[in-house]
Structure 1
Amino acid sequence: MPLILILGAIASAAMFVPALHALAQGNHTVSRSFGYSGALGLVVIGLIALAMGGNARREASDLDNLMSLSLAFIALPVFLAIPFYEGLRTTTFLNAYFEMVSSITTTGATLFDKPGRLTGSLHLWRGMVGWMGGLLMWIAASAILAPLNLGGFEVTATAEPGQGDDQQGRFQRAGSGRRVWQVTSALAPIYIGLTGALWLFLAIGGDRPLVALIHAMSTMATSGISPIGGVERAGSGIGGEVVIFFFMMFALSRLTFSADTVTSARPGLHNDPEFRLGMLIVLGVPLLLFSRHWIGAASADQVEDIPQALSALWGGMFSVASFVTTTGFESAHWDIARDWSGLGTPGLILMGAALIGGGVATTAGGVKLLRVYALYLNGQREMERLVHPNSVGRAGARSRRMRRQGAFVAWIFFMLFAMTLALVTVVLAALGLEFEQAIILAIAALSTTGPLTQIAGEVPIALNLMAPGAKLVVCAAMVLGRLETLAIIALISPSLWRD
């Protein structure tokens, strides 16, 4: 069966979870909307599968699966929005579609930020859709994007982006469908187990079970979805933030949970350039902010307040880690980090962290740490050549390839990303948004970091007040940020449409 059909069946089956939750809470309207939608979805997909079963079909190629992946972010939210729309009954279908696109792309921007607007079952559905979107990206990275040298793999691959590497038979031994199944059977238990462990830790820390579950799913999927407005309002307090902080490390490098994609010549997490660069940002940026605040506090005679200084340091470290991994959770001590010395910290820092993004083949969005590292290596080598023009680059062929072709492809991606960012900003500004709001929305959508809309600006952006055209533009930007520009270009390949 086509991958999009399988994803639709999984989504239909998942609708019974919020249906049972709403039934247990006595909310029969929400329960019926999810139950009927799930049953109808399974019946329709079953009939389509039955009709297709008698026809001989060739096995889906990697480009076919890439098309199914793009449909999962564009068309599948239409189906996912039906029970949400029917269960809420006080919004438009476009708003429900926007919410589902934001969830499945792990962006986490929401139109329903008022407490009590959504019931617990609807919050659970948002968290589940984001969680399934994160698992989909985990699986798609190895099963779909890696064979096509997309999603960051083009930096270290020898073939061109969007094309398979015929010289390496690593991904050619199994068919596309079998490869998807093998990757799913290997990674899904890890993803589920990590989510369950984090849920247990947060529940022990004092969170309500539903809040702990949604925060656990949002952390693993880097969606930043919260039923209470963020982890700063959770009952687990700083203990919950510490646990979430360590689980966010899985979005810095693929090697934290799987060895199916190797980004360094030497094994080991300590040799992984993505993880080292990510930790440098997570530790270095808060220390710089802390030093800046400390100087300001010294001039204001507030140095003796050591506990408040440590709270400011932790607030900066957690928030930077959250936005580098494009999760978007804000620490309860972030306000202290901004205000304790009297020097305001601009949201531009968090926007820059979100643009850098997390590791390749993780649930994080953004430009990706591996591309930044490739450009760093290229810049370092160019500076060496300024001193010694005839020198030969050190290290092996793999590092030389990353410094040359890898940096070239990474630079192309940066240019495409910058042009897309400029285009989305101009279109949103033309649709009536202020320039500051337009650029924050564009960065939040393309980096899949929805909470930026509430934190980065002087005042939170009221997403529900946007025009319908602006909402559709933001939806397209979120899909583009999740799939990346190179994957969209690969979909124009003649070999995909020839069939």
Structure 2
Amino acid sequence: MHLPVILRILGILLVLFSTASLPPMAVAWWYGEPEIMLFTYTFLITLVTGLVFFLPFSRAKHELRPRDGFLITVLFWAVLAVFGAFPLLLMDAPSLSVTDAFFESISGLTTTGATVLTNIDAMPRAILFYRQQLQWLGGMGIIVLAVAILPMLGIGGMQLYRTETPGPVKDRKLTPRIAETAKTLWYLYLGLTVACALAYWMAGMTPFDAISHSFSTVAIGGFSTHDASIGWFNNPAIEGIAIFFMLISGINFAMHYLAWHNRSFLMYFSDPEVRGYLLMLVGVSLITVTVLLYNDIYDGMEAARYGIFEVVSIATTTGFSTTDFSIWPTFLPLLLFLTSFAGGCAGSTAGGMKVIRVLLIFKQGSRELKRLIHPNAIFSIKLGRKPVDDKVADAVWGFFSAYVFLFIVMYLALLATGLDITTAFSAVASCMNNLGPALGEASANYQSLPDTAKWILSFAMLLGRLEIFTLLVLFTPMFWRH
């Protein structure tokens, strides 16, 4: 393990992250808020710390091994969450504890959207903008951004890209060079963000709200500048725009690139994962609207308006809300939470296990049933017309097993802190799937939960963002052997 190189890279990434304090400083200056000093301190602390890590090892150059990539990825997300908590910890009102500040920071960076804050409408705009920006930076992953720069510094970036990129297939590149791949992804990400912000603004949001909500929409984060989330605007046009961009952001960004590059919208429907993703959303939306109408919760158009929005928001693990879905008939909140386990497509900004894994698990279960009927026959798993390597199928089952095991362990741990069954189950599901909203005591926010529960849930967010194995591998003795 090349410790000097690891510290050098960590220093570079912290120096890069220090610039995240500059836009909130500009917002504070524009609105005449005293928080400008708060972000100045954060900028200097993060910059100096990054330089302390970087300068002693500035000449250390070695090609990274996969083991180094795993450690850098986990270290950076953990360290980033610590430094990201500084502005939240230093602000005067509301006064947050270390636990709450870290929880809010890692929730933003992992695009979970779970919050401990109340009375958000009255908070300084610089802080509100900073929360939204955290989600935007975490959406595609700062490490993916950094690999576009690291090769120019003499450090190969492919190992970092593989460990950070979500999904079961990690070796697929859009362009021959990893730096170009990272740049391409960020151009797509930036383009969608700008388009989303413009659409929100044209639909009636202020420029501040439009930019802020475009950050959390494209990042599939769910933070808002208002306590009532998107529901604060009470605007069907804004809700429609949010649905569209949540749908788009839940699709593999590689698919967006290919469709744009080939100028063919039909390419989306040729991908089995995208078809499964859209079919899931349409099916759950129909069920939700039907149940709402059957129980006379809303009238016809209102049932479609609120039902479809909540389905897309929860299924894509965004977490925006236009109504309190926790008071719907019990069947619906549970259905929506179960849908979030699938989440979006691999290679998107969505959380959850990813639709492609759910498809592979279903197809492998179907193959086992066929083998019971025809023991001597050979059946292959196919996605579309392409057979899937058994190693990939085995890896998916391994991921699913680890996911279920860790979910149960953290669920029991939350119960041990004194939480009720509903709160514990929904909170673990929400944080592990990077969703945000929960039920029970956490239906409004996570403020009332014990500190121990918040640290467990912070770990769950990191597990979900790094898709379990990237973090879990650090806890194996084999990883640390020479």
TM-score normalised by length of structure 1: 0.82
Task: Report matched runs for 1:10-89 at 5 Å.
Answer: 10-28=16-34, 30-53=35-58, 55-88=59-92
In 2, the alpha carbon distance for the partners of 1:493 and 1:437 equals 31
Structure 1 partner of 2:368 = 382
Match of 1:161 in 2: none
Displacement of 1:139 in angstroms is: 2.8
1:490 corresponds to: 473
Counterpart contact for 1:417–1:485, Cα < 8 Å: yes
> d(CA) in 2 for partners of 1:294 and 1:467?
38
Between 233-242 and 124-133, the greater mean CA deviation after superposition: 233-242
Q: CA deviation at 1:269?
A: 1.6
Report if the CA contact (8 A) 1:3-1:65 is conserved: no
Could you say if the C-alpha distance between residues 36 and 320 of structure 1 is closer, same or farther in structure 2, counting changes exceeding 3 Å? same
**Partner residue in 2 for 1:247:** 245
The more displaced of 232-241 and 72-81 is: 232-241
Relative to 1, partners in 2 of residues 1:111 and 1:283: Cα closer, same or farther, differing over 3 Å?
A: same
Secondary structure of the structure 2 residue equivalent to 1:444: helix
Instruction: Look up the match of 1:111.
Output: 116
- Measured against aligned partners, the alpha-carbon deviations of 1:82-112 in whole angstroms (never above 9, x if no partner) come to 1222123522222111110111011111110
For the residues of structure 1 that align with 2:418 and 2:371, how far apart are their CA atoms? 49
Residues in 1 aligned to 2:426 and 2:390: alpha-carbon distance in whole angstroms: 33
Distance 2:381 2:460 in 1: 39
Q: 2:457 aligns to what?
A: 474
Per-residue deviation, 1:421: 0.9
Amino acid at match of 2:86: I
Q: Match for 1:237: what amino acid?
A: N
Corresponding position of 1:193: 191
Q: Whole-Å Cα distance in 1 between the matches of residues 465 and 128 of structure 2? A: 22
Give yes or no for contact 1:375–1:403 (8 Å, CA) kept in 2: no
CA contact (8 A) 2:230 2:321 kept: yes
Q: Taking structure 1 as reference, are residues 433 and 82 closer, same or farther at Cα in structure 2, changes over 3 Å only?
A: same
How does 1:357-368 map onto structure 2 within 5 Å?
A: 357-368=343-354
1:450 corresponds in structure 2 to 436
**SS, match of residue 153 in structure 1:** coil
User: 1:171 & 1:17 partners in 2: Cα distance?
Assistant: 31
Amino acid at match of 1:327: T
Structure 1 residues 47 and 338, CA gap change in structure 2 (3 angstroms): closer
Q: Identify if the C-alpha distance between structure 1 residues 316 and 236 changes in structure 2 by more than 3 Å, giving closer, same or farther.
A: closer
Write the mapping of 1:70-469 to structure 2, written as runs, cut at 5 A.
Answer: 70-88=74-92, 90-116=95-121, 118-136=123-141, 139=144, 143-144=158-159, 147=162, 151-153=166-168, 179=178, 181-235=179-233, 237-249=235-247, 250-259=249-258, 268-295=267-294, 308-332=299-323, 345-393=331-379, 402=388, 404-451=390-437, 453=438, 456-457=439-440, 460=443, 462-469=445-452
SS at match of 2:410: helix
Which amino acid in 2 is paired with 1:420?
L
Q: Could you tell me how far apart the structure 2 residues matched to 1:338 and 1:430 are?
A: 26
Q: Which runs of 5+ in 1 are unaligned?
A: 158-164, 261-266
**Per-residue CA distance 1:56-88 (angstroms, 9 max, x = gap):** 331323432332221222122111111222123
CA distance in 1, matches of 2:342, 2:372: 28
Instruction: Answer yes or no: is the 8 Å Cα contact 1:215–1:231 preserved in 2.
Output: no
Aligned length: 458
| Residue type of the alignment partner of 2:76 | A
Cα deviation, 1:155-174, whole Å, max 9, x if unaligned, reads xx8xxxxxxx8xx9x79986
Paired AA for residue 472 in structure 1? W
RMSD: 3.3
* Contact persistence 1:393–1:400 (CA under 8 A): no
Deviation at 1:34, TM superposition (A): 0.1
Amino acid in structure 1 at the alignment position of 2:140: L
The CA deviation at 1:325 is: 1.2
- Residue type of the alignment partner of 2:79: A
% identical aligned pairs: 26
For structure 2, the 5+ residue unaligned runs are 148-156, 260-265
Please say if residues 137 and 361 of structure 1, whose CA atoms lie closer than 8 Å, have aligned partners that are also in contact. no
CA distance in 1, matches of 2:165, 2:27: 39
1:393 to 1:131, Cα distance in 2 relative to 1, 3 A: same
**Separation of aligned partners in 1, 2:176 and 2:140:** 24
For 1:497 and 1:409, how far apart are their aligned partners in 2?
22
Aligned AA (2:139): G
The offset of 1:318, in angstroms, is: 2.0
CA positional deviation for 1:441: 1.1
Residue in 1 that maps onto 2:152: none
Provide closer, same or farther for how the CA distance between residues 394 and 184 of structure 1 changes in structure 2, counting only shifts above 3 A. closer
Matched with 1:6 is 12
Distance 1:386 1:5 in 2: 55
Q: In structure 2, what is the Cα distance between the partners aligned to 1:88 and 1:144?
A: 41
TM-score (norm 2): 0.84
Please list the CA deviations of residues 332-370 of structure 1 after superposition, one character each: whole Å capped at 9, or x if unmatched: 5x76x986xxx5653111211111111112211111101
- 8 A Cα contact 2:441 2:449, kept in partner: no
Determine the C-alpha separation between the residues in 2 that align with 1:385 and 1:85.
58
2:154: which partner in 1?
none
Alignment CA distance shift 1:150-1:17 (3 Å): closer
Alignment-mate amino acid for residue 189 of structure 1: Y
* Local SS of the residue matching 2:257: coil
CA distance 1:39–1:241, change in 2 (3 Å): same
Classify 1:129/1:148 alpha carbon distance in 2 versus 1 (closer, same or farther; 3 Å): closer
* Cα distance change of structure 1 residues 87 and 409 upon mapping to structure 2, 3 Å threshold: same
